[in-house]
Amino acid sequence: MAATILDGRSLAAKLREELKQQIEEFVALNGFKPKLATVIVGEDPASIVYVNIKRKVAEELGFDAEVYHLPSDKSESEVIALVERLNRDKSVNGILVQHPMPSHINEDKVMASIDPAKDVDGLTPFSLGCLAAGTNNFVPCTPLGALRLLQHYDISLEGKEVVVIGCSRINGLPAALLFLHHKATVTICHIYTRNLSYHTRRADILYAAAGNAEFITADMVKPGVIVIDTGSNRIPNRKGDIGDVHFESVKEVASYITPVPGGIGPMTVTMLMFNTLEAAKRQVTKMAL
């Protein structure tokens, strides 16, 4: 029997309706719309598409959304200066820096310059440190979206063997930390992992975040596995995004699986919106003290 599809698109739509109501209540109470500022540097086509999607969703939900699109020759110091200006701007509640950035810019330095109170992507050293410690700042949106999707389908992490493929600070590493705090036993695999299939076949839940199109195949997973595919890859002569998992073969073995597109992507954007509203609420509360 083929796997049950973990439908992120339909859950995201439901959550966005709830979020829209919450934003209306926030505006009525506080007299202003929460604002998300996005910084993008360069002309990476996929990044431009993603930024436009985020802006469109934000505006549809009732946020103010502004995109700062800088040319690729901007210096690292100029990008950081913009971020610091947005930190000081009291009308801005959330700041998102789109990845990837041009190679001459140190992304770690740019991320570290974001005010943690406005770090709605959850990627500053402060936010990641809070996640490691199990304290409350902002959780990166892709792992958070995956967690909400699992919870929606009543899939508990407690006691599960979770194998995370990929260790980036954007996705794989925070996913491992998040799942660990939900009582899973977590293994992180990466480019230097030996005998990857040994680990993936042990997984009760497989979280693919490697950025390698369709490299997880049916022979690499055990029957009944739950597959979370966060990959978003482009292949010449194939339309749209391609996941890290070979969907057609793995769905015949798994019990649950996310599609690409329509799985984690919509949830990631939705979690960004939840984090932005939460940031605005916290900032209002702080000003009232």
Contacts for 184-187: CB closer than 8 Å, 24+ residues apart:
184/157, 184/158, 184/159, 184/160, 185/159, 185/160, 185/161, 186/162, 187/161, 187/162, 187/163
Any idea which of 26-30, 41-45, 205-209, 221-225 has the lowest mean pLDDT?
41-45
Residue 98 designated active-site:
yes
Could you give phi then psi for residue 256, rounded to 5 degrees? -140, 150
* H-run or E-run covering 284: helix 264-288
Residue 15 has pLDDT above 90, yes or no: yes
pLDDT, tens only, 76-125: 999 999 999 999 999 999 999 999 999 999 999 999 999 999 999 999 99
Residue 90 corresponds to which tokens in the numbers above?
Answer: 């009291």
**Alpha helices, DSSP H, located in 153-221:** 172-181, 196-200
Q: Is 67 exposed, middle or buried (0-12, 13-18, 19+ CB in 10 A)?
A: middle
Q: What pTM was estimated for this model as a whole?
A: 0.95
Pick from 145, 162, 175: nearest CA to 8 = 145
Catalytic residue among 35, 98, 160, 283: 98
How many other CB atoms sit within 10 Å of the CB of residue 250? Answer: 24
Residue 1 corresponds to which tokens in the numbers above?
Answer: 């029997």
Who contacts 132 (Cβ-Cβ below 8 Å, separation ≥6)? 177
pLDDT of residue 289: 66
- CA torsion sign, 143 to 169 to 66 to 136? positive
pLDDT band (50, 70, 90) for residue 287: confident
Radius of gyration of the chain (CA): 19
Residues in the chain: 289
Could you give phi then psi for residue 70, rounded to 5 degrees? -100, 145
Residue 255 has pLDDT above 70, yes or no: yes
Cis preceding linkage at 100, omega within 30: yes
Domains and CATH numbers, the chain: 31-115 (3.40.50.10860), 141-265 (3.40.50.720)
Pick from 26, 82, 2, 3: nearest CA to 280 = 26
Catalytic residue among 33, 54, 118, 251: 54
pLDDT of residue 150: 98
pLDDT band (50, 70, 90) for residue 288: confident
Mean pLDDT, range 58-81, rounded to an integer: 97
Catalytic residue among 115, 119, 121, 204: 121
pLDDT, tens only, 187-218: 999 999 999 999 999 999 999 999 999 999 99
pLDDT, tens only, 34-57: 999 999 999 998 899 999 999 999
pLDDT, tens only, 125-182: 999 999 999 987 899 999 999 999 999 999 999 999 999 999 999 999 999 999 999 9
